[in-house]
Amino acid sequence: MTEQTTPENPDASATEKPEEAASRNPLAELEADLERLKNDLLYAQAETQNVRRRLEKEKADAIAYAATGFARDMLSVADNLARALAAIPAEAASDEKLKPFVTGIEMTARELETVFQRNGITRIAAVGEPLDPNRHQAIMEVESPEAAPGTVVHEMQAGYMIRDRLLRPAMVGVAKAGAAGPSVDMKA
């Protein structure tokens, strides 16, 4: 037999389960539904706001780094211009017949560097810096009495960043610890 609330038994409602009370009280049931729906709405709004922020960040990144593939392709052009300038002998640079040609190559290299800077592409400092595996790729170790072990002493290929992301690591030679011995020809 179930307990009934009567004048003789006033505490019977205290022993009945909350689900039973809610099923008997439509107002309590509606309030519980309202509370559940409010929570669902708050969660949905928070999720919508998170999705909106994530999409805005992805859009900003897409705009900022859209030229990454093109920039990587242009790095070989910058490398070739630097090699062309390095290959010009001093006497050819001072020759009046070749001077306009050399000046044209220098101006092209400067213009390419200006375009890189305008688009957030910067050259990574390497020589004399400690090896940073996030920015440098060690190709060889070189015994160098002047440099501390782990210091970049030679740059074979320049590295570049596009804003705060690595575009291409610098390929470098790093000083190693040890006794002085045969050294590597850095001019080759």
pLDDT digits (tens, 9 = 90+) for 79-119: 999 998 989 888 888 888 888 888 899 999 999 999 999 88
Same domain for 47 and 111? Answer: no
Same domain for 55 and 124? Answer: no
Does residue 34 lie within any of the structural domains?
yes
- Listed residue (139, 134, 138, 137) closest to 166, CA to CA: 134
Token pair 């052009």 is found at: 77
Same domain for 147 and 160? Answer: yes
Instruction: Give the number of domains in the chain.
Output: 2
CATH number (domain holding residue 77): 2.30.22.10
Query: Which tokens is 51 given?
Result: 């999705």
- Using CA of residue 19, residue 23, residue 28, residue 32, what is the dihedral sign? positive
Residue 146 reports pLDDT greater than 90: no
- Listed residue (176, 174, 186, 168) closest to 69, CA to CA: 168
d(CA 81, CA 110): 10
